[in-house]
Structure 1
Amino acid sequence: MKTDVAIVGAGPAGLMLAHLLRQAGIDVVVLERKSSDYVLSRIRAGVLEQVTVDLLDELDLGERMHREGLPHEGFFLADGERLIHINMAELTGRSVMVYGQTEVTRDLMNASAARGVEVVYEAEDVALHDIDNESPYVTYLKNGTEHRVDARFIAGCDGFHGPSRQAIPDTVGRAYERVYPFGWLGILADVPPCNDELIYANHENGFALASMRSKTRSRYYIQVPLDEKLSDWPDDRLWDELATRLGPDAASHITRGPALEKSIAPLRSYVFEPMRYGSLFLAGDSAHIVPPTGAKGLNLASSDVAYLSRAMIEYFKEGRSEGIDAYSQTALARVWKSERFSWTLTTLMHRFPDGGAFGRRMQVAELDYIAGSRAAQTSIAENYIGLPL
């Protein structure tokens, strides 16, 4: 099989890139090692920056998002005693959209066949070959038979554990990483949210987050040690701890219900450079991971895809290579700024084992400063809604 671009990974980054390229008349094949049902079963974040909203609208796939999504003009930081409102609309003139990553993936997936986006699910043992020249190819197994896809470019959108980044020689790439000494215990429940906007809480017991997927489905998180076990957190204990950490105002509006899903996720900050090697381009989690505190994971993938799709369209349609040559540097500039914001917010809102009483007092002082400073609130709002492309 021959194509213009072989895309490894059928998450939102891979599918969005495929749709943008097909819209421009560029041939693509997407390879995904899991089934479509498995891809849709993954529970992920749901705060979309304007860049992600604009890309879905550009693809004429935003109708359901605008109908079912929840536009948010602000969010809250809680310090245990009060709620500090960050009014993004007033401070920046912009907002974000709450719409689950699963739904973004579903919309892209459902439109694939009709738009000529070929996706091969359950493609096993994907391997990249000859990525250091202009004739790379990808091999995979399907139902026990090996297949080969020849392409001009390969886009690695296959996440942190995929084969794409691992195909880049150690002598070429460099990884930067910060692993955090805690995780997030999350619960998804079909109950109304406790607030119309997200609440990020810093409490003596640790961080908590109140978020939502819709007006009737809520997503809550608390900070827990990495060695914590789900069996130690029955639903009642988790709801009690959420009520404590989110504070009395939010607690009075919490509706409890059985967990649809409960899990513990580790947190890390990770960046791999460069995001291009020869004919291979990395996008999304294959190149960078952010702690979910800043709601940047999917949105960074979207900005990668925006840069990469434009560069590849320019290459195939105009014969120009300036965009693909600049892709890694351009994407990384935005990646590092988003990593900085996510790291800053994570540091501010979580309890660190070595922080001690001094660290806690510094966090309280910083939150007190933010509460009284329009400039500080504006800086947070600008980063939260997403820096311009």
Structure 2
Amino acid sequence: MRTQVVVIGGGPSGLLLSQLLHVHGIDSVVLERKTKDYVLSRIRAGVLEQGFVNLMEQAGVANRLRSEGFKHDGTLIAFEDESFRIDFREHTGTPVLVYGQTEVTRDLYEAREATGGKIIFNTDDVAIHDADTDTPCVTFTVDGQQQRIDTDFVAGCDGFHGISRQTIPLSVRREYEKVYPFGWLGLLSETPPVHEELIYSLSRRGFALCSMRNENLSRYYIQCSLSDNPDDWTDSAFWNELKRRIPQEFADRIVTGPSIEKSIAPLRSFVTEPMHWGRLFLCGDAAHIVPPTGAKGLNTAASDVHYLHNALREFYETGSSEGIDSYSQNALARIWKAERFSWWFSSLLHRFPDQSDFDLKMQRAEIDFLRTNKAAQKAMAENYVGLPYCWVEPRRYR
């Protein structure tokens, strides 16, 4: 088998890249380790930057997103029993769109299938060969039978635990990581959201987030110990703890119900450099992880897809390798800014086990500054709705 681009990973970033390449007449094959049903069963966040929405439009996959997504013009920040609003439209003129990642993935699968896109599921033993040459290939097994695809390029969209990043030699790549000393316990319920916008809340008991998927599906989170297990928390215990961590006016309004899904996610900041080795390019979680606090995970993957699909398009349309040669620099310039915002927002809104009284006072002062200072609100709004996709002059990352 031969194709122009092998995309490893059938999640939203791999599918979006494949669909955008198709729009520009570039052939690709997507390899996915699991089944389609398994991929669509994964519950993920769904706060989308305008840049992501624009990419979906370019891919011809934005109809349902536009009709069913919820525009959010701001968000609430709470400390103990007080809250204030950050107005995205006032400060940036741009909202975010709430639309579940599962639905994004579903839309992209339907688009790839409608255009005859090649997606191979249940692939095992995937290996990338000769990525540092002009003739890379990918081998894998399906139903015990080994197969091979010769290709021009490989896009690694296979997540943090995938093989793509591991293919880049340790002598070439460098990894930066911060592991946070707590996790998020999340509960999904078929209940109306407590508020029309997200509520980020810090209390003496820890962080909480009130979010939603649609008008009848809510997602709530509370900061928890990494040693906790979802089974340790009954639904009743979760709802009671959530109410203790948000202002009383919202606690009194919460509609509770049985959980559909309950899970604990650890928090991590991670970046690998470079994101490009030979004919292999990393996208999304394969190259970087952000804490979920700033809703940047899917959006940073989308920015990678933006840079990569334009670089490949330039290569095939003009023969120029300038875009692919500068992919890593361009992607990382934006990624590190998203990492900074997610780190700052996480530090602002969580209780850390080693915080001193001075640290707690500084945390409160930072929240008060954000509440009263328009410039601080503008900076937060610009980062939350998404920084622009920009080309940067080539530079060496150390």
Give the partner amino acid of 1:155.
Answer: A
Q: Which residue of 1 aligns with 2:51?
A: 51
Whether contact under 8 Å (1:141, 1:147) holds in the other structure is: yes
TM value normalised by structure 1? 0.99
Q: CA deviation at 1:318?
A: 1.0
The residue aligned with 1:95 is: 95
CA distance in 1 between counterparts of 2:117 and 2:313 reads 16
Q: Measure how far apart 1:313 and its partner are.
A: 0.6
Query: Match of 1:4, SS?
Result: strand
SS of alignment partner, residue 15 of structure 2: helix
Aligned pairs for 1:241-280 (under 5 A) are 241-280=241-280
| 1:60 counterpart = 2:57 | no
Partners of 2:131 and 2:209 lie apart in 1 by 42
Matches within 5 A, 1:217-366: 217-366=217-366
State the shift of 1:375 in Å. Answer: 0.7
1: CA distance between counterparts of 2:356 and 2:104? 41
Match in the other structure for 1:370? 370
Specify the code of the residue in structure 2 equivalent to 1:246. I
Distance 1:59 1:42 in 2: 23
- Name stretches of at least 5 consecutive residues in structure 1 with no aligned partner: none
Post-superposition CA distance 1:62-118 (Å, at most 9, x none): 111111110000001101121110000111111100001111000000111221321
Q: Show CA shifts across 1:145-180 (max 9, x none).
A: 000011000000000000000000000000000000
* 1:107 equivalenced with 2:96 (yes/no): no
1:165 paired residue number: 165
Q: Aligned-pair RMSD on alpha carbons?
A: 0.7
Contact 2:294 2:342 in 1 (8 A): yes
Structure 1 position 323, deviation (Å): 0.4
- 1:140: which partner in 2? 140
Task: Give the distance between the partners of 1:94 and 1:311, measured in 2 at CA.
Answer: 27
Provide, for residues 167-210 of structure 1, a one-character-per-residue CA deviation record: whole Å limited to 9, x for no partner: 00000000000000000000000000000000111110000000
SS state at 1:3 partner? strand
Q: How many residues align?
A: 389
- The answer to whether the aligner puts 1:126 opposite 2:129 as a matched pair is no
Question: In the alignment, which residue of structure 2 is the partner of 1:5?
Answer: 5
How far apart, CA to CA, are the structure 2 residues paired with 1:230 and 1:305? 34
- CA shift at 1:41, angstroms? 0.7
Mapped contact 1:198–1:211 kept (Cα < 8 A): yes
Q: For residue 357 of structure 1, report the CA deviation from its aligned partner.
A: 2.4
1:69 equivalent to 2:47? Answer: no
1:191 paired with 2:191, answer yes
Partner SS for 2:316: helix
**For residues 211 and 72 of structure 1, what CA distance do their matches in structure 2 show?**
11
Matched, 1:206 2:194: no
Compute the displacement of 1:362 (Å).
1.3
Partner Cα distance (1:67, 1:113) in 2:
21
More moved, 351-360 vs 303-312: 351-360
1:117 and 2:110 are equivalent in the alignment: no
Tell me the distance in 2 between the aligned counterparts of 1:75 and 1:31: 38
Distance 2:95 2:76 in 1: 14
- Asked if residue 15 in structure 1 is aligned to residue 20 in structure 2, the reply is no
SS in 1 for 2:259: coil
Q: For 2:385 and 2:194, locate their aligned partners in 1 and report how far apart those are by CA, in whole Å.
A: 22
For the 8 Å contact 1:22–1:116, the answer to whether it is kept is no
Q: Which amino acid aligns with 1:363?
A: Q
AA matched with 1:77: I
User: Cα offset for 1:231?
Assistant: 2.2
Over residues 338-359 of structure 1, what are the superposed CA-to-partner deviations in whole Å (9 max), with x where a residue is unaligned? 0000000000000000013222
C-alpha contact (below 8 Å) 1:53/1:62 kept by paired residues: yes
Q: Which moved more, 1:211-220 or 1:360-369?
A: 360-369
For 2:135 and 2:101, locate their aligned partners in 1 and report how far apart those are by CA, in whole Å.
34
1:113, 1:224 → 2: CA distance? 40
SS state at 2:326 partner? helix
- Please give the alpha-carbon distance, in whole angstroms, between the structure 2 residues aligned to 1:3 and 1:131: 15
Q: Which amino acid aligns with 1:57?
A: E
TM-score, with structure 2 as normaliser: 0.97
- Gap regions ≥5 residues in structure 2: 390-398
Per-residue deviation at 1:124?
1.0
* Residues 81 and 246, structure 2, Cα contact 8 Å, conserved in 1: no
Amino acid in the other structure paired with 1:211 = S
